[in-house]
Amino acid sequence: MSKAISRRNFLMATGAVGAAGLLAACGSKPAASSTASSAASQAPAASADESLALSDGPVNLSISWWGGDSRHAAYQSALEAFQAEHSNITVEPTFAAWSGWEEKMAAAFIAGNAQDVCQVNWNWLYNYSADGSKFVDLNTTSKFIDLTQWDSAAMDACYVANSQQCVPVSMTGRIFYWNMTTFNKAGITEVPKSLDDLMAAGKAFQEKLGDDYYPMHLGAYDRMILMVFYLESKYGKDWADPVTSTLNYTEEEIAEGLAFIKSLVDNHVMMNLKTYYSANSDTATHQSNEWITGKIAGIFEWDSAASKYSSALDDSNKDGFTVGEEIKFGDNNGGFSKVSMGLAITKTCKNVAEAATLINFLLNEEKGASIMGSECGIPASKAGLKFAQDAGAVKSLVAEANAKVMAFTTNKLDPLFENNDLKASGTGIYQEVFDNIDYGDQTPEEAVETLLDGMESVGYTIG
């Protein structure tokens, strides 16, 4: 045991030195995310800044987002509608796909030339503005943004360094999706609602359809999320503290979680990773032949991924795609919901009042929200959701999944959970852990140490 601790301390020390070097190189103030004292209760929220006012003269704003074709189109027509309403404001957009986008925005945040309004990923608040230096506290703009349209839990998640750094555009979480065409072939007519149902499905698939049919396939990161889901369901506590990233689970409890995942593999509920790689290497599940043809009949995915998976199915399987039910593995509801993206105003913005008006238009007002629809996920703003639904601009599959996730999940996510060194496919720690177990290199008990070492090296505090 002493050996394990010393290795962890070593990793922590090297991690800290490396991080300090990076920060020094960037010339920014060292502000470790774990020390960001952002508990909402510590300081009263800043009140509206009365000096903010809309200008009568011509105003130039810029906005940036990432996404695909349909999101680009939605934002652009919403901006047109906004400019028609506010004839003195011109909005210049910048947009691209997600890949490389974080690097671009990180450079822009550091150089101070990011756009006035930015679509931000939730963990950017911690990565780039843990000291509150990059984004305007939106509580000061409450004259222009109706902040009462959001649940306090969602708003609190964006409250970092005593500052409301962004408003959530949408919330997301994981849920099961099933291909009922295959389930029906195995003689199962209802979606699995309990662990017993899952195990029974594994058995039925193997017996009736053969060894190459599985009720479910999860990649390494999906497994990690399901494991946390299981543990939270069983023990009723967050995986880690949502502010300080202090792990709330003991080694024994984590070993139990890993053993749970292994039991799903052993009971033919899930495909062994080794088997999956040999047929697909690192291809994503929705692009695998097994998913397209229905041999893999289930996934545990983000609510927003529904259309990606359903449209990938071939014609004989397309109709069977069904949003499943969240499964209670213990006495509590497991799983987390997280802010999938937010809109923030950068501190370099010169026209904060107009920028805030734009955010309010996109998320809360009828004209904007009905155009944006569910292009950035199911709107988290209550008014926005109503307008989008009335306009019929919400994808029904995603809306159904999102409603189930939001009604079920109660746990919070910590900002380090999605750290790239942990979740990266191929090189991340999560991948290493679940690969080791599936290849038989480590037992769940042994894999705990690999997991904890990796988590500690990215900044988790482990009790």
Contacts with other proteins by CB under 8 A lie at 26, 64, 66-73, 76-77, 80, 92-101, 103-104, 106-108, 110-113, 115, 286-289, 292-293, 302, 304-305, 307-309, 311-315
Q: Measured from the CB of residue 110, what is the shortest distance to other proteins in angstroms?
A: 6
Rounded CA separation 351/310 (Å): 43
Q: Are strands 117-120 and 59-66 parallel, antiparallel or unpaired?
A: parallel
Question: What is the crossing angle of helices 429-438 and 220-235, to 10°?
Answer: 90
Contacts (Cβ under 8 Å, ≥6 apart) of 114? 64, 105, 108, 134, 346, 348
* Cβ closest to other proteins, residue 188 vs residue 398: 398
Buried b / exposed e over 248-276, threshold 16 CB at 10 Å, is ebebeebbbbbbbbbebbebbbbbbbebb
Q: First CA to last CA across the chain, in angstroms?
A: 14
Residue at 212: amino acid letter? D
Residue 113 φ then ψ, to 5°: -120, 30
* Cβ closest to other proteins, residue 101 vs residue 221: 101
Q: Measured from the CB of residue 143, what is the shortest distance to other proteins in angstroms?
A: 30
* Cβ closest to other proteins, residue 20 vs residue 96: 96
* Cβ closest to other proteins, residue 343 vs residue 433: 343
On whether the CB atoms of residues 434 and 270 are closer than 8 A, the answer is no
* Cβ closest to other proteins, residue 141 vs residue 351: 351
Rounded CA separation 128/31 (Å): 10
Four-point Cα dihedral 369, 373, 377, 383, nearest 10 = 40
Rounded CA separation 58/64 (Å): 20
* Cβ closest to other proteins, residue 222 vs residue 449: 222
On whether the CB atoms of residues 379 and 343 are closer than 8 A, the answer is no
* Cβ closest to other proteins, residue 35 vs residue 316: 316
Four-point Cα dihedral 406, 408, 414, 418, nearest 10 = -70
* Cβ closest to other proteins, residue 152 vs residue 307: 307
* Cβ closest to other proteins, residue 48 vs residue 424: 424
* Cβ closest to other proteins, residue 30 vs residue 100: 100
Q: Measured from the CB of residue 437, what is the shortest distance to other proteins in angstroms?
A: 27
Q: Measured from the CB of residue 435, what is the shortest distance to other proteins in angstroms?
A: 22
Q: In a 10 Å sphere around its CB, with 0-12 CB exposed, 13-18 middle and 19+ buried, how is residue 339 labelled?
A: buried
Q: Measured from the CB of residue 307, what is the shortest distance to other proteins in angstroms?
A: 6
Contacts 24+ apart (CB under 8 A), 273-280: 273/219, 273/220, 273/434, 273/435, 273/438, 273/439, 274/438, 274/439, 276/217
Q: Measured from the CB of residue 167, what is the shortest distance to other proteins in angstroms?
A: 20
On whether the CB atoms of residues 213 and 297 are closer than 8 A, the answer is yes
* Cβ closest to other proteins, residue 106 vs residue 406: 106
On whether the CB atoms of residues 414 and 241 are closer than 8 A, the answer is yes
